C-alpha cells in the first residue's frame, strides 16, 4: 500500500529492515571512482591516518544508507525526491566487514504552499553499525505526494 504524505506520522521512528555490508573491494572501487584519498584506497595509508584502518568514503556510507532508505522507507508511488540534507555527520569510520542498518525519525511535516499535490516531510536518518554505534546521521527535507 502506497505511503502518502498523510500516512507519515510526526514523531514516529521507523527501523528499516535492510542491511548493507561493506567489503574491501566495494570500499576501494567506490573510492577509486569518487573519492581517491589514500585512507580510502590503501591499508597502509589508512593505518597512519585518523581512521586507523581502511575506511569507506563518507559519500559511500551516505549512498549505502540511501539505498536502505529507498528500499525500506521511500515509496516509488509517492516519493518525489528531496531538495537537500542538513547536518550530514560522519560520526565513526566504516571499515570492511561492517554492516549498516538505518533508522528514520519523522521530525516535522507541512503541505507545500506552491504545489498542492505534495507536502514536505523533515526526517532524521541515523545509520548504525553491527555494534549499534551511530556512524552517520543527517536531516533531510523530502517531498511526498498527497492523497488528494
Which of 15, 47, 53, 70 touches a copy of itself (CB under 8 A)? 70
Answer for the pair 93, 52: CB distance below 8 angstroms, yes or no: yes
Distance in angstroms (rounded) separating the CA atoms of residues 119 and 142: 8
What is the footprint of a copy of itself within residues 36-65 (CB under 8 A)? Answer: 36-39, 49-51, 57-60, 62-64
Max CA distance (Å), the chain: 57
What is the footprint of a copy of itself within residues 94-133 (CB under 8 A)? Answer: none
Nearer to a copy of itself, 90 or 128 (CB): 90
Distance in angstroms (rounded) separating the CA atoms of residues 115 and 49: 48
80 belongs to the binding site for a copy of itself (CB under 8 A): yes
Nearer to a copy of itself, 11 or 47 (CB): 47
3-class DSSP assignment, residue 33: helix
Number of residues in contact with a copy of itself under rule CB under 8 A: 37
What is the phi-psi region of residue 52: left when phi exceeds 0, alpha when psi lies from -120 to 50, beta otherwise? left
Which of 16, 85, 106, 107 touches a copy of itself (CB under 8 A)? 85
Distance in angstroms (rounded) separating the CA atoms of residues 137 and 128: 9
Q: Which stretches of the chain bind a copy of itself, using CB under 8 A?
A: 30, 33-39, 49-51, 57-60, 62-64, 66-67, 70-71, 74, 76, 79-90, 143
Amino acid at each position: 500500500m502506497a505511503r502518502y504524505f498523510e500516512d507519515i506520522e510526526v514523531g514516529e521512528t521507523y527501523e528499516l529492515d535492510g542491511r548493507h555490508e561493506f567489503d574491501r573491494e566495494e570500499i576501494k572501487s567506490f573510492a577509486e571512482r569518487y573519492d581517491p584519498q589514500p585512507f580510502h584506497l590503501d591499508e597502509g595509508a589508512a593505518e597512519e591516518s585518523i581512521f586507523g584502518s581502511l575506511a569507506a568514503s563518507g559519500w559511500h556510507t551516505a549512498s549505502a544508507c540511501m539505498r536502505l532508505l529507498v528500499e525500506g522507507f521511500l515509496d516509488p508511488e509517492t516519493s518525489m525526491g528531496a531538495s537537500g540534507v542538513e547536518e550530514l555527520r560522519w560520526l565513526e569510520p566504516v571499515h570492511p566487514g561492517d554492516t549498516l542498518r538505518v533508522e528514520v525519525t519523522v521530525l516535522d511535516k507541512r503541505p507545500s504552499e506552491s504545489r498542492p499535490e505534495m507536502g514536505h516531510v523533515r526526517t532524521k536518518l541515523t545509520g548504525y553499525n553491527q555494534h549499534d554505534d551511530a556512524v552517520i546521521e543527517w536531516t533531510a527535507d523530502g517531498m511526498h505526494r498527497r492523497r488528494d
